[in-house]
Structure 1
Amino acid sequence: MVSKSLIWKFLLVVAAGGAALDRSQSTFHSGERQPASEILSAEVIRIVDGDTIHIQGADKQPIKIRLAGIDCPERDQPWGDTATRALSRLVTGQVVDIAVVDIDRYGRTVGRVFLRDQNINRVMVKAGNCWAYTRYVRDSKLLELEKEAQLANRGLWSQPKANQIPPWEWRRHK
């Protein structure tokens, strides 16, 4: 079994390719408090779905990043393709900063993705393209933005109630 520490070091060396990394930084964009976590900067080369991207590693190998605290509809469920296209329009080909939160059980890096001063995780929820993933959410603002999107009937919240199935329930019934 590979240790988390070794994975972090690998990601920092390979994915960041010498990009912006500041362990002493306690804040990151828009005043969000951050523990002394790693920050990766890399180009987005592929959108997997509405909450997962691939970035270009220094060795030209893609590295999968799961957006922290959100869960978008699966591609085969209502609004899944729309959420994927929305994320694609926002970040494909862009150099993004990723505040690393964790490595999940599938080995994916989990993080908050920023394009300039925009928190892309929040942008996706605010637009109604995904849910705040209550099981894993650490950013309470995501819960507020989800409620706002629901009340405004934005994105998937404009769909019939029968189509508003949280992805974690969709996956469970597959």
Structure 2
Amino acid sequence: MKLFVFALFVSFRALANVGDFSLHSDQSLYIVDGDSVSLQMRLADIDTPEIKQKCREHVNRVIDCGRLSKRYLQRLLKSLPGEIAIKPIGIDHYQRILVRIYKGNTNIGKLMVESGMAFSYKDAYQQEEDLAKAEKLGFWGFYTPPIEPYKWRKLNRH
């Protein structure tokens, strides 16, 4: 699954809403400097193209679909009304914190899939993905949509 590494600098008020959680290793922590750390979080239930992953928007136009998905997420978080709420739901096998992010009442991961800018992970939002495909939204309207990120990762391991 395209594993979003999502760094957020949150206000004390927002942090208080996240609740307590513990990590079994320091792999989720990025040390910024001597008194600052950033946490690696992954949006649960979705998979997006990797940053280096390409797709063909038109017959003669190849684009960075991973970067496009990243920019779309950034736009959603800036443009939707309300506060950002982060709901931790677990830890993945890479020791990243699995989260659902809401902006106001909007589930951001679900909206990414509904917009055709993410794949449903483990069928969590399969109906939304099927509808986006049928309506040719986002990537699904491209000449060649991206291959599933987990397949791309297997083909591009170093």
TM class, shorter-chain normalised? Answer: 0.5 to 0.7
* 3-state SS, counterpart of residue 95 of structure 2: coil
Deviation at 1:141, TM superposition (A): 5.9
Q: 1:74 aligns with which of 50, 61, 76?
A: 50
Residues 58 and 108 of structure 1, relative CA distance in 2, 3 Å threshold? farther
Q: 1:151 aligns with which of 131, 134, 143?
A: 134
Q: 1:172 aligns with which of 118, 136, 154?
A: 154
- State how far apart, in whole Å, the 2-side matches of 1:141 and 1:106 are: 20
The answer (yes or no) to whether the contact 1:50–1:85 under 8 Å persists in 2 is no
The answer (yes or no) to whether the contact 1:66–1:109 under 8 Å persists in 2 is yes
1:4-153 alignment, distance < 5 Å? 51-56=4-9, 60-78=36-54, 79-91=65-77, 95-134=83-122, 142-153=125-136
- State how far apart, in whole Å, the 1-side matches of 2:38 and 2:142 are: 34
Counterpart AA for 1:82: L
- How high is the sequence identity, in percent, across the aligned residues? 28
Residues 156 and 83 of structure 1, relative CA distance in 2, 3 Å threshold? same
The answer (yes or no) to whether the contact 2:3–2:42 under 8 Å persists in 1 is no
Q: Runs of 5+ in structure 1 lacking a partner?
A: 1-48, 135-139
Counterpart AA for 1:127: S
Q: Runs of 5+ in structure 2 lacking a partner?
A: 13-35, 55-64
- State how far apart, in whole Å, the 1-side matches of 2:105 and 2:46 are: 19
Counterpart AA for 1:56: F
Deviations 1:77-135 (A, max 9, x none): 1211110000011225985212211111222110111011000011100110010012x
Structure with greater contact order relative to length (CA < 8 Å, sep ≥ 6):
2
- State how far apart, in whole Å, the 1-side matches of 2:73 and 2:3 are: 6
* 3-state SS, counterpart of residue 113 of structure 1: strand
Counterpart AA for 1:54: A
Counterpart AA for 1:115: K
Task: Give the number of equivalent residue pairs.
Answer: 120
* 3-state SS, counterpart of residue 94 of structure 2: coil
Bigger mean CA deviation after superposition, 147-156 or 105-114: 105-114
Counterpart AA for 1:69: D
- In the TM superposition, structure 1's runs of 4+ consecutive aligned residues that sit over 3 Å from their partners are 49-52, 57-60, 92-95
RMSD: 2.5
